[in-house]
């Protein structure tokens, strides 16, 4: 049978679905990201990249970021779900896995600064404009010159409104889609205008 979700091995699908059933709004997806989406989210990253991942879940994007060549010590992953934090810490023992809210990026330890990329799997459509402001403010305070924020979403529209982008002097562009994903996903890149 074809696996339309395109899940990588060890992606923790059963645990993810269980957590979704318990916390649908916060988990925000029925299944972890598939391999095609994870590859698109990690595109262009490499051995010199310093990366912050928001909402690591069971680690499918984390795995793609590491597979792109980013050394684990250059990677900070924030997550709030205790089960996901345990599994991320076990799978990526040399990355900085932090029990932390994406609404409080400014209070992260200083090693997550001068970043090249923020890679986000957060369910932004379930969050308020003020939550979006906190995430944009925190991310762009931590990103160096030329750094970018990358987000996937399940609608063909950037989940951060033009109003919020304008407030922070940001611009969004569509980077591509992953049809072989459950559900199909769209990738947006946000950077300084």
Ligand X SMILES: C[S@@+](CC[C@H](N)C(=O)[O-])C[C@H]1O[C@@H](n2cnc3c(N)ncnc32)[C@H](O)[C@@H]1O
Point out which residues bind ligand X (CB under 6 A): 26-29, 32-33, 54-57, 60-61, 78-81, 84, 101-103, 121-123
Closest CB to ligand X among 62 and 146? 62
Q: How far is the CB of 127 from ligand X (least distance, A)?
A: 8
Q: How far is the CB of 28 from ligand X (least distance, A)?
A: 4
Is the peptide bond preceding residue 80 cis, with omega within 30 degrees of 0? Answer: no
Torsion of CA 37, 163, 125, 82, to 10 degrees: 80
Closest CB to ligand X among 23 and 171? 23
Q: How far is the CB of 188 from ligand X (least distance, A)?
A: 14
Q: Give CA–CA dist 144/38, Å, rounded.
A: 23
Q: For residue 136, report the phi and psi dihedrals to the nearest 5 degrees.
A: -65, -45
Q: How far is the CB of 104 from ligand X (least distance, A)?
A: 8
Query: 156, 125 in Cβ contact below 8 A?
Result: no
Closest CB to ligand X among 78 and 143? 78
What sections of the chain are H helices per DSSP? 13-22, 24-27, 35-41, 60-67, 82-91, 129-142, 162-167
Q: How far is the CB of 47 from ligand X (least distance, A)?
A: 22
Where are the extended beta strands (E) located within the chain?
51-54, 75-79, 96-99, 115-120, 143-153, 170-178, 185-192
Closest CB to ligand X among 18 and 166? 18
Q: Give CA–CA dist 73/155, Å, rounded.
A: 33
Closest CB to ligand X among 84 and 148? 84
Q: How far is the CB of 145 from ligand X (least distance, A)?
A: 26
- Provide the sign of the torsion angle of the four alpha carbons 160, 162, 166, 169, taken in this order: positive
Closest CB to ligand X among 154 and 168? 154
């Amino acid at each position: 049978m074809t696996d339309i979700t395109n899940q990588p091995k060890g992606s923790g699908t059963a645990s993810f679905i269980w957590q979704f059933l318990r916390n649908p709004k916060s988990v925000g997806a029925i299944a972890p990201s598939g391999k095609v989406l994870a590859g698109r989210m990690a595109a262009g990253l490499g051995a010199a990249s310093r990366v912050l991942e928001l909402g690591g879940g069971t680690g499918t994007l984390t795995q793609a970021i590491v597979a792109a060549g980013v050394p684990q010590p250059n990677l900070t992953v924030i997550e709030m779900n205790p089960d996901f934090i345990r599994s991320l810490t076990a799978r990526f023992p040399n990355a900085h896995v932090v029990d932390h809210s994406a609404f409080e990026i400014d209070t992260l330890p200083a090693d997550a600064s001068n970043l090249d990329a923020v890679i986000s799997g957060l369910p932004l459509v379930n969050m308020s404009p003020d939550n979006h402001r906190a995430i944009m403010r925190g991310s762009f305070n931590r990103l160096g010159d030329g750094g970018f924020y990358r987000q996937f979403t399940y609608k063909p529209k950037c989940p951060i409104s033009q109003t919020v982008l304008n407030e922070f002097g940001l611009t969004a562009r569509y980077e591509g889609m992953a049809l072989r994903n459950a559900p199909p996903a769209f990738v947006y890149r946000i950077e300084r205008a």
